[in-house]
Structure 1
Amino acid sequence: MKTAIVLGATGLIGKILVQQLIEQAAIEKVIAITRRPVDYQSDKIINQVVDFDNLTQFVHIFHGDMLFSCLGTTKKQAGSIAKQRTVDLDYQLQVAKLAAQNQIKHYFLVSSSGANADSSSSYLQMKGELEHHVKQLHFDTVNIFQPSLLVGQRPDTRIAETLGNYLLPTICRLPWLKKYRPISGQQVAKKMVSVAMTKHKKSHTYALDVLFDC
């Protein structure tokens, strides 16, 4: 029986992922890492509230078999690129280091299509940097998932994404735009669980077209 840890457990992908993990017979416990208490309706879920600015004080929480890192924000929510970088790169990397230190074997990261440490886009740059750094840590496997625009129910309103939800599915029917089509949080979470439950795990980066095949 396995213990799974979910970072970003209240986000679009994270909250679906938590629910899908508890449905797996091989998963005994899901540790949901959040900023504020969440009332989960399952005995399998343990909610751990952390102060992300003092993560080293919570090293004892990060013990298990697999870590799913789904944390993320936007520039608008964070207030600046620098603060977004703190959430999307610094917090996630620090948690990954704590997990590796505690000998968690398998790491699963939600990144982004186009992630590249050398990108001129600050968002894609921070995603690429995180991918690079976590690959250097001592996990048995590192699996990275690179969705494009995510669609689904969010607690906050994002105008660009709302427009994308309506326009991109139609636009991306064109063959040369297919790889940019939006994907649901449900599809990404399903693929992550499928990979996690594979008996013989290996490191891999799952690009957008592969994520749809689930």
Structure 2
Amino acid sequence: MAKKAIIIGATGLIGSHLIEQLVQDDSFDEIVTLTRRSAPFSHPKVHNEVVDFERLEEHANLFRGDLLFSCLGTTKKQAGGLERQYKVDVEYQFRAAQLAADNGVSHYLLVSSSGANPKSSSAYLRMKGELEQKVLTLPFTRISIFRPSLLLGERGESRPAEKIGAVLLPWVCRLPGLRQYRPISGAQVAEKMINVCNKTGTGIETFTLDELFYT
């Protein structure tokens, strides 16, 4: 039976690759993208809905389907400060997950980060870890968490530090014991997420570093 997917973060690096791959997957007959601004995708399977993430409750009916792919994320600079970044990286995503769980969505798939830890000294990793802890309290039948390292691919905004890392890390990770930390492309993460959701499973599963490179 064909499935309906909901995506938040659809215009980002991984989200955009997810759409490209999902439209080619016969397991899915409907893909709903929830975005802040109109983001039309030229495929009959894809339906874009503009939502106010500050008032997600008003859009609760849109969180009905089989799966929720949560790919939303930002940086401190892009968001305009840590407080705003927290809203996007934790509050918006958790509220979306709550609405999906309330509407009976069975499978939740979250893009987190390598090193996610609610007690981390890094604000970014602390936010990712806090979100993970929060969503684990929700009554999904299945929760899949993906923790990639540095992501490679073309983004809509400039991230100089990531560009430098994208050049250096592949060489550094050739050293013994560091291969598992090598960068991964947004397309590879999207492919892994789709392969995971097309296999049966229940409970909580986490995919980190090397595990993301294998389907």
Give the Å deviation of 1:213.
Answer: 1.6
Equivalent residue number for residue 91 of structure 1: 92
Q: Map 1:98-113 onto structure 2 (within 5 A).
A: 98-113=99-114
- Contact preservation (8 Å) 1:100, 1:138: yes
Equivalent residue number for residue 60 of structure 1: 61
- How far apart are the structure 2 equivalents of 1:201 and 1:20? 23
Task: Tell me, yes or no, if structure 1 residue 133 matches structure 2 residue 134.
Answer: yes
Equivalent residue number for residue 80 of structure 2: 79
Equivalent residue number for residue 22 of structure 2: 21
- How far apart are the structure 2 equivalents of 1:170 and 1:103? 45
- How far apart are the structure 2 equivalents of 1:60 and 1:94? 13
Runs of 5+ unmatched residues, structure 2 = none
Q: Map 1:142-153 onto structure 2 (within 5 A).
A: 142-153=143-154
- How far apart are the structure 2 equivalents of 1:202 and 1:41? 35
Equivalent residue number for residue 185 of structure 1: 186
Task: Tell me, yes or no, if structure 1 residue 40 matches structure 2 residue 41.
Answer: yes
Question: Which stretches of structure 1, 4 residues or longer, exceed 6 Å deviation after superposition?
Answer: none
Find the residue that maps to 2:167 and give its secondary structure: helix
CA-to-partner distance for each residue in 1:121-152, whole Å, 9 max, x for gaps?
11111100111110110100000000011010
> Over aligned residues, Cα RMSD in angstroms?
1.0
Identical pairs, percent: 51
TM-score, normalization: structure 1? 0.97
| Number of equivalenced pairs | 214
Find the residue that maps to 1:194 and give its secondary structure: helix
Which amino acid is 1:38 matched to?
A
TM-score, normalization: structure 2? 0.97
Give the Å deviation of 1:33.
Answer: 1.0
